[in-house]
Structure 1
């Protein structure tokens, strides 16, 4: 896993979605991310973004034990950073080392790592208090 850096690229737009953590939210998050990437002229990143955001949002819905979540899309010139945040810092995702061919679960973070340039989990702070976590991933256009 590598860390994302801003470098000399300037943010061109930020989009934010707040939603309940329920079974319909992964679909809503996919539509939201599609719209944001189309609006910011990053259509080549949509396919990978949809797989990643679907897996991360589904993890929150199934495992975080929270009522709501947020999705943020930060668009830059040739890359985007997408973060899914929730209010339960104690229940952090972890990547399984391996999944059997017939396993229905356990591949989400492996897919995110495989499809993204960088990814990670960050704590969300309010002053000196941890108030949640953010699972993020960065996608870059070819040649970036």
Structure 2
């Protein structure tokens, strides 16, 4: 800027009475903006964009989270990792909130006055569970191939467990069922680890004509269907299980000293070509 410009108060390249010159904006960080648009299309539960001002990637949760969720990172891969961490953290916070509500209701019920010599009536469940499909799962006969895992209460174990289930099915020559079974295992474990109580266990078994998955936890509340809108991105676990398995259901557990819980199971009918070994064949029972 010249001394004359400073005296007259004029700035920039345009002068009064002159011709306006259009300045073409620069194509800054084109690859990063393309990566942000692709990630935004791949993640319907998040709104993803790239900010030219800070030259960083941003993502905001669009589902009804327990608190507003906005994450940022310097690269698209780093942003995706932080999105997954935020999802797990929100699930844990929701599980803790539900547990606090249940504890407060139990404490209020225990403190409520009762008439003398009246036997306490068990508190009804918070909501009526969806009627389970199918009959109670029968005991497995001798000669079945089985594998069981005792799992820590950690949502990060779901991915590793899904991989182990796929390896077992491949070793049993049942890889044709692997995609459906692995998806069902993921949904049942997510429900058990988020809303159930430890210990949590997973059992996978194959006998002549049947392939079964069982997930057991020790919470008294039964799984239930949620009435969700078309835009919902969470809460469709039981619907997915019913769509993929030939039969599924819930078996309540009860025992001495107030032990309670449930086993949520799913069953597939094997084709004759996929049937397992006979009763006199060797039985594979890996464990972890």
Q: TM-score, normalising length from structure 1?
A: 0.82
SS at match of 1:47: helix
In the alignment, which residue of structure 1 is the partner of 2:228? 99
In the alignment of these two chains, the number of paired residues is 140
Please state how far the C-alpha of 1:26 moved relative to its aligned partner. 1.5
SS at match of 1:26: helix
SS at match of 1:75: strand
In the alignment, which residue of structure 2 is the partner of 1:39? 171
SS at match of 1:30: helix
Say which of 82, 85, 100 aligns to 2:216. 85
2:143 matched to 1:14?
no
The correspondence of residues 57-96 of structure 1 with structure 2, limited to 5 A, is: 57-64=189-196, 66-88=197-219, 90-96=220-226
Please state how far the C-alpha of 1:12 moved relative to its aligned partner. 2.5
Distance change in 2, residues 1:44/1:3 (3 Å)? farther
Higher strand share: 1
2:252 matched to 1:123?
yes
Please state how far the C-alpha of 1:136 moved relative to its aligned partner. 0.4
Q: Which has the higher contact order (CA 8 A, sep 6+)?
A: 1
The more displaced of 74-83 and 134-143 is: 134-143
SS at match of 1:110: helix
SS at match of 1:109: helix
Q: TM-score, normalising length from structure 2?
A: 0.44
Aligned CA-pair RMSD: 2.5
Please state how far the C-alpha of 1:56 moved relative to its aligned partner. 0.6
SS at match of 2:177: helix
Deviation per CA, 1:78-108: give whole Å up to 9, x if none: 32110000111x2221122x43222121211
Please state how far the C-alpha of 1:11 moved relative to its aligned partner. 4.7
In the aligned structure 1, how far is the partner of 2:178 from the partner of 2:234? 23
In the aligned structure 2, how far is the partner of 1:91 from the partner of 1:28? 26
Distance change in 2, residues 1:60/1:93 (3 Å)? same
SS at match of 1:3: coil
Higher helix share: 2
Deviation per CA, 1:19-54: give whole Å up to 9, x if none: 112121221221222122122221111111011110
Say which of 147, 153, 159 aligns to 1:27. 159
